[in-house]
Amino acid sequence: MKSLLKIIPLLLVINLLFSCKRTDEYQVYAIKYADGWKIQAKDWVTGADLSDSVDVCEMFWLIKSHDGKNILVDAGFIDSTNTFKEYTRPDSMLKKLNIEVSEISDIIVTHPHNDHIGGLILFPEARVWMQQDDYDYFIGPAWEENGYRTGFEKNDVENLLSISKQGRLKLIKGDNIEIMPGISVFTGSKHTFGNQYLRVNSGKNKILLASDAIWFYLNMEKELPVCVCMDTASYVKTIKRIKTLVADPGLIIPGHDDMVFRKFTEVQDWIVRIE
């Protein structure tokens, strides 16, 4: 009897360990917020054939932890000039999942193109994560005479500076860094000066959110760079590297390919769960 009493607390602890969901495992969603562009693959993918086609859309990603934390990867943008035939503001898309803007704790910015950070102003309380090199180039040298600023907008510089002043900006220095348990960031793609992509632990698998380190499945299949890029050799090298970072290549998610929304299970209109 005495030995049984000794063993009971141990059994309770073991039971607790197995019943608790781990804090380094997440659910991952892709959320489309704009559609209706028609483009030719060869104009966007350098080296694509005339017969190649791609189906482009705008999306961002939601990472949900088991303990109720909501993390965004990028924030989309606000279509004030009605560029898109079909557009829903990123915060309205989140409402479809019953998530309010105040419930977004963190936004991991992959790079400062307007379609990825224009929507940051919708989330005035969130902590914003960005690569230091990308940030430094974006607020400075990009705007000099020979700066590379395709896709950059001055308004977004002002906004990031104010996020920094408010103490909400977390700068990340370098490649292969686990910024939160189960979430690692990688660099080297040169889509922008220091753009990053992420690997997220979903429990069963690891998911690679490439964002613009891979625009389309076509880039991945043919190992071709995109037309917006500071160094095409680095871009292609990174595509090859990304393929080594996850066991299942089907869980590499390109940043602008509408195929993502046909490949995975729909949970709401324009929202799929990646698993």
Residues that bind Zn ion (CB under 5 A): 113, 212
Q: Return the number of other C-beta atoms located less than 10 Å from residue 1's C-beta.
A: 5
Q: Of 83, 124, 86, 87, which is closest to residue 103 (Cα–Cα)?
A: 124
Beta carbon of residue 236, minimum distance to Zn ion (angstroms, whole number): 16
For Zn ion, the closer of residues 133 and 212 by Cβ is 212
Beta carbon of residue 118, minimum distance to Zn ion (angstroms, whole number): 12
For Zn ion, the closer of residues 58 and 212 by Cβ is 212
Specify whether the CB–CB gap between 220 and 17 falls below 8 A. Answer: no
For Zn ion, the closer of residues 118 and 182 by Cβ is 118
Beta carbon of residue 96, minimum distance to Zn ion (angstroms, whole number): 25
Pair type for strands 58-65 and 26-35: antiparallel
Q: Running DSSP on this structure, what letter comes out for residue 22?
A: P
Beta carbon of residue 191, minimum distance to Zn ion (angstroms, whole number): 6
Beta carbon of residue 200, minimum distance to Zn ion (angstroms, whole number): 20
For Zn ion, the closer of residues 32 and 113 by Cβ is 113
Q: Residue holding tokens 């500071």?
A: 230
Q: Which token pair is 197?
A: 């992509």
Q: State how far the alpha carbon of 64 is from the alpha carbons of 9, 34, 61, 176, 179, in Å.
A: 32, 22, 10, 21, 15
Beta carbon of residue 151, minimum distance to Zn ion (angstroms, whole number): 6
d(CA 24, CA 66): 9
For Zn ion, the closer of residues 156 and 182 by Cβ is 156
For Zn ion, the closer of residues 113 and 201 by Cβ is 113
> What phi and psi, each to the nearest 5 degrees, are found at residue 197?
-135, 165
Beta carbon of residue 68, minimum distance to Zn ion (angstroms, whole number): 30
Q: State how far the alpha carbon of 15 is from the alpha carbons of 19, 24, 46, 94, in Å.
A: 6, 19, 55, 35
**Please, what is the end-to-end C-alpha distance for the chain in angstroms?**
47
For Zn ion, the closer of residues 46 and 205 by Cβ is 46
